[in-house]
C-alpha cells in the first residue's frame, strides 16, 4: 500500500516536470477556453445546476480567470476530479488550473511540484455525526467507523488526531463526496470527516440537516486554494493576480454594481484605477488587456459577493466569513498592492 502511494507521487512529479515550461497562457488563448479542474460535485463550491451549468465558490475562480484571459467567463471546460485524480489531471496538462478545495501543503508544493497561487478559503477539518449517536466531542469517538475520502489531507489528519489522542478508529475509504454522503446516511460509518466547509455543504443537502451535528473540534489547518504546475510562472502570475483582484476589489469597495461607473468615469483613487486598468500598464505586463481585472470582477462580483452568493450566511450552506473576512475586518484576506 505504502509503495503504491510513493510510486503515485513520483508519477505525478514526473508528469509535472514534463509539462513544466509549457506556456499555458498561449495554450489557453489558442484553445479559446480554460480547462479548469473542479470537484465531482460539492454544492456551493463546484457543482452543475439543474441546467448543467457549473456553479460555486471554486467555479467562480475558473470563470474569473477565463474572463481575465479570454474576456468570457463562460469559456471554461470544467473537468470533474476526485481527491485521487486531481493531481494527475494537473500534472499531465489535462487541466490548466485546479480549483477544487485543495489544501496547500509542503509536499504538494515541493514534492508533487505544483504552485499554489494563494488561498481562496481558510478552512479546517471537522467531524459530523448523527445526533442520535449522542457524542459531543471528537475525543469520544474511540472505536468509531469513519467515512473518509481517499487521496486527501483528511485521511492523514485523521490518523494523526486519533494517534495523538490514543484512540482507535476504522476507516471506511470513499472516492467522492456523493458516495460519502450516501454511505454516511446509510449508516456504513458512524462519522464523516472532511473540511468543515465541506461538512456544512454536505449537511445542507440532507433531508433532515438538524438530525446531524458538527462536533466542536477543528483538528487541522486547511488553506484551500487554486494551483498550477511548477515552472509555469507567467500563468501562475495570472491566476494569482486574478484571485488578488477579486479580494482587492472587495477591500476597495469595487462591486459588480459600481464597476461600470468606476471604469467609465475613473475617480481619484489611483489603486482602484490601476486595478481597473484606467491608469498604468499592469495588464500589459503579463500579456493581458488593460481591463483584465475589471472583466474578472464582472464575471461574478468581488470576493465578498462571490462568498455571499455561493456559500454565505444567506445560502443553505450558511458559512460565516470567519477567517475569510478581509484583514481590515479581522480576517486573513490580504491582497498585495496593485502597483
Which residues make up the interface to ligand GSH (CB under 6 A)?
A: 39-42, 82-83, 101-103, 149, 152-154, 176-177, 194-195, 198, 222, 224
Task: Give the shortest CB-224-to-ligand GSH separation in angstroms.
Answer: 6
Task: Give the shortest CB-194-to-ligand GSH separation in angstroms.
Answer: 4
Of the pair 139, 221, the CB lying nearest ligand GSH is at 221
Nearest CA to 226 out of 86, 17, 94 is that of 86
Task: Give the shortest CB-108-to-ligand GSH separation in angstroms.
Answer: 8
Q: What sign for the dihedral angle of Cα 162, 166, 172, 178? A: negative
Of the pair 40, 326, the CB lying nearest ligand GSH is at 40
Of the pair 41, 283, the CB lying nearest ligand GSH is at 41
266 burial type by CB count under 10 A (0-12 exposed, 13-18 middle, 19+ buried): middle
Of the pair 152, 326, the CB lying nearest ligand GSH is at 152
Beta-carbon neighbour count of residue 336 at 10 Å? 11
Of the pair 24, 103, the CB lying nearest ligand GSH is at 103
Task: Give the shortest CB-102-to-ligand GSH separation in angstroms.
Answer: 4
Torsion of CA 236, 242, 243, 245, to 10 degrees: 140
Nearest residue to the partner ligand GSH, using Cβ: 198
Task: Give the shortest CB-274-to-ligand GSH separation in angstroms.
Answer: 34
Amino acid at each position: 500500500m505504502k509503495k503504491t502511494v510513493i510510486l503515485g507521487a513520483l508519477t505525478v512529479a514526473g508528469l509535472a516536470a514534463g509539462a513544466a515550461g509549457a506556456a499555458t497562457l498561449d495554450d489557453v488563448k489558442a484553445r479559446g477556453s480554460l480547462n479548469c479542474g473542479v470537484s465531482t460535485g460539492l454544492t456551493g463550491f463546484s457543482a452543475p445546476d439543474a441546467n448543467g451549468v457549473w456553479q460555486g465558490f471554486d467555479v467562480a475562480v475558473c470563470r474569473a480567470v477565463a474572463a481575465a484571459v479570454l474576456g468570457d467567463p463562460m469559456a471554461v471546460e470544467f473537468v470533474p476530479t476526485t481527491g485521487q485524480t486531481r493531481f494527475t489531471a494537473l500534472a499531465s496538462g489535462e487541466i490548466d488550473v485546479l480549483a477544487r478545495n485543495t489544501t496547500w501543503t509542503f509536499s504538494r508544493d515541493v514534492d508533487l511540484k505544483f504552485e499554489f497561487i494563494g488561498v481562496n478559503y481558510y478552512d479546517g477539518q471537522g467531524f459530523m455525526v448523527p445526533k442520535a449517536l449522542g457524542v459531543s466531542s471528537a475525543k469520544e469517538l474511540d472505536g468509531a467507523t469513519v467515512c473518509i475520502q481517499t487521496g486527501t489531507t483528511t485521511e492523514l489528519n485523521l490518523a494523526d488526531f486519533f494517534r495523538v489522542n490514543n484512540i482507535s478508529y476504522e476507516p471506511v475509504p470513499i472516492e467522492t463526496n456523493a458516495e460519502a454522503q450516501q454511505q454516511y446516511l446509510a449508516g456504513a460509518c458512524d462519522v464523516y470527516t472532511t473540511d468543515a466547509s465541506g461538512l456544512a455543504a454536505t449537511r445542507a443537502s440532507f433531508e433532515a440537516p438538524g438530525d446531524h451535528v458538527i462536533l466542536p473540534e477543528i483538528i487541522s489547518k486547511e488553506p484551500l486554494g487554486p494551483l498550477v504546475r511548477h515552472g509555469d510562472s507567467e500563468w501562475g502570475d495570472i491566476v494569482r493576480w486574478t484571485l488578488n483582484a477579486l479580494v482587492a476589489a472587495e477591500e476597495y469597495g469595487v462591486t459588480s454594481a459600481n464597476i461600470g461607473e468606476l471604469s467609465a468615469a475613473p475617480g481619484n483613487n489611483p489603486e482602484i484605477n490601476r486595478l481597473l486598468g484606467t491608469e498604468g500598464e499592469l495588464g500589459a505586463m503579463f500579456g493581458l488587456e488593460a481591463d483584465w481585472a475589471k472583466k474578472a470582477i464582472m464575471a461574478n462580483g468581488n470576493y465578498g459577493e462571490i462568498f455571499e452568493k455561493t456559500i454565505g450566511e444567506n445560502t443553505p450552506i450558511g458559512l460565516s466569513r470567519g477567517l475569510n473576512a478581509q484583514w481590515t475586518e479581522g480576517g486573513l484576506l490580504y491582497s498585495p498592492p496593485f502597483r
